[in-house]
Chains A and B, each alone.
Chain A
Amino acid sequence: DIVVTQTPLSLSVTPGQPASISCKSSQSLLNSDGKTFFYWYLQKPGQPPQLLIYEVSNRFSGVPDRFSGSGSGTDFTLKISRVEAEDVGVYYCMQSMQLPRTFGQGTKLEIK
């Protein structure tokens, strides 16, 4: 199975400040068709996960532009340019290069 390692496991950020989360995959997630099957989800307290970013850097419908994704191959980053109170929750990265789909351990973001 592909292992996805997420860091840090927790973040405490002052509103208006940036935040960054990294994920590293045990195998390249670049497919032969040129797509990279890497995703970011946010699970707000008491809610199911919601899709933020697909294929490394594409924001899902309705996701604010303060969220951005980058990376390639095995190393990926989610950046929040200016954290807001509504961004609290646990962020997960996920790979879909092969089954089973696997998630990172999650990064808990809290507001200072």
Chain B
Amino acid sequence: EVQLVESGGDLVQPGGSLRLSCAASGISFSGHWMSWVRQAPGKGLEWVANINQDGSDENYVDSVKGRFTISRDNAKNSLYLQMNRLRAEDTAVYYCARDRETLFDYWGQGTLVTVSS
């Protein structure tokens, strides 16, 4: 059974940092790109970042470049998103998803990040 389980979401002050994790099982984790996609409360979907199989290639949406870093640990079947200099507009549910380089076929349930003072 495919499982992607995100964790690490929390309430954080503007300018603060947070690290999200995604634990994968049942999806041949090391063989696939992975992505983070976010959804602000009551809003649509926004792709945030992706990373290739061995972590040597990363891509980001412009709004998070220089502030967020995606990484992975294939030995632990885990994906991460280090978020620094957080802003109110980063408030969202963050989903990890298996990235087949053109589509997302499996998604986690998401973890909520709230940036507020």
Residues of A within 8 A of B (CB): 35, 37, 39, 41, 43, 47-51, 54-55, 60, 92, 94, 96, 99-106
* Cβ contact of B44, chosen from A48, A100, A106, cutoff 8 A: A106
Q: Are the CB atoms of A60 and B44 closer together than 8 Å?
A: no
A-B contact list, 8 entries, CB within 8 Å: A49-B45, A51-B103, A51-B104, A60-B105, A92-B45, A100-B59, A100-B62, A106-B45
CA distance A100 to B48 in the complex (A): 8
* Cβ contact of A103, chosen from B44, B107, B108, cutoff 8 A: B44
Q: Are the CB atoms of B105 and A101 closer together than 8 Å?
A: no
- A contact face: mostly helix, strand, loop, or mixed: loop
Interface residues in B20-43 by Cβ distance below 8 A to A read: 35, 37
CB of B109, distance to nearest CB on chain A (Å): 6
Q: How large is the interface on B (under 10, 10 to 19, 20 to 34, 35 or more residues)?
A: 10 to 19
Asked whether B95 is an interface residue with its Cβ less than 8 Å from the other chain, the reply is: yes
Given contacts A103-B46, A105-B44, A106-B44, contact A48 B62 (CB under 8 A): no
CB of A91, distance to nearest CB on chain B (Å): 11
CB of A92, distance to nearest CB on chain B (Å): 6
CA distance A104 to B109 in the complex (A): 21
Given contacts A96-B102, A101-B47, A106-B44, contact A48 B59 (CB under 8 A): no
Interface string of B60-87 (1 = CB under 8 A from A): 0110000000000000000000000000
* Cβ contact of B61, chosen from A41, A92, A94, A100, cutoff 8 A: A100
Given contacts A49-B45, A102-B47, contact A96 B103 (CB under 8 A): yes
Residues on B with C-beta less than 8 A from A54 are 102-103
Interface centre among A50, A96, A106 (most CB of B within 10 A): A96
* Cβ contact of A37, chosen from B35, B46, B102, cutoff 8 A: B102
Residues on A with C-beta less than 8 A from B110 are 48
Additional pairs, 13, CB under 8 Å, beyond known A51-B103, A51-B104, A103-B46: A39-B102, A43-B45, A47-B109, A48-B110, A49-B37, A49-B45, A54-B102, A92-B45, A96-B101, A96-B103, A100-B62, A101-B35, A104-B44
